[in-house]
Amino acid sequence: MKHVIIPLAVFILSLMASTPAILQQTYETTSSLVPNRIWPHDQRTAGNLVEGFTTIQPIKLPERFMDNLRKLEPNDKVVLGVLMATYGDRENKGSIRIGIRQGPRIVTKTIDISELQDNTYLSSSWQASQFEGWSKGSAEVFLSGLNSPANKSVTAWLVKGSPFGGAITNGVQRERGLCFSLVTQTKNSTLRIRNFGFSFLQALCLMLVAVALVRSPSLKEN
């Protein structure tokens, strides 16, 4: 009987250990386009994102970014983060639109601003398949206000030293640029290997259990 219990116990333990890994979805950053990732010391707000107010940041998509984008699976992610200000603990309401465009190609997300936190990055993601046909060169990151009143709206931080130059707010060229990040993300290959290892161990344990049962004296007597 002990020949059955040991491999069966190992199987159960490996199943318990692998279940969280199977359910977990992790990603690893493969490329980034980050002009200002640290907290800026010389910043201004772009202006309240009320209805009709827009903030546009011209950018350049480099070849390294496009190389990584081409390597992604269709369901992998492209993630845009923009540093936002919500005016402390003020209760804001309404929505804004965030997106990236290059010529006629565009990806957008509508965001409920009541969920945003002050001085943190608003993160939006899209599937890599939505960037089919994009190329290196000029593009734009943009924010648009949809339906927030002035005293319940949010804004984005503008900082000095952006390699892409200043942002454009409602048609006005600014000296400072958006503080943002743009990264490509792919599913963590280490997690895949870990799951394969657990699956192999479980299959081996089941095989040992089967062999032990076949050789069990009690079964032969019956």
Asked if residue 173 has pLDDT above 80, the reply is yes
Domain count, the chain: 2
The range of the structural domain enclosing residue 200 comes to 2-21+190-221
Burial of 121 (0-12, 13-18, 19+ CB in 10 A): middle
pLDDT for position 161: 81
Give the per-residue pLDDT at 184: 87
Residue 44 bridge partners (DSSP): 158
**Residue 70 maps to which CATH number?**
2.60.120
Q: In this structure, are 137 and 33 located in the same domain?
A: yes
Report how far residue 219's alpha carbon sits from residue 222's, in angstroms, rounded to the nearest whole number: 5
pLDDT (tens digit per residue) in 105-161: 999 999 999 999 999 999 999 999 999 999 999 999 999 999 999 899 999 999 888
Averaged pLDDT of the chain: 78
Residues 102 and 143 in one domain: yes
- Give me the sheet containing 172-173, strands edge to edge: 105-112, 95-102, 137-145, 54-61, 168-169, 172-173
| pLDDT tens sequence across 8-38 | 555 455 544 544 444 444 555 555 565 544 4
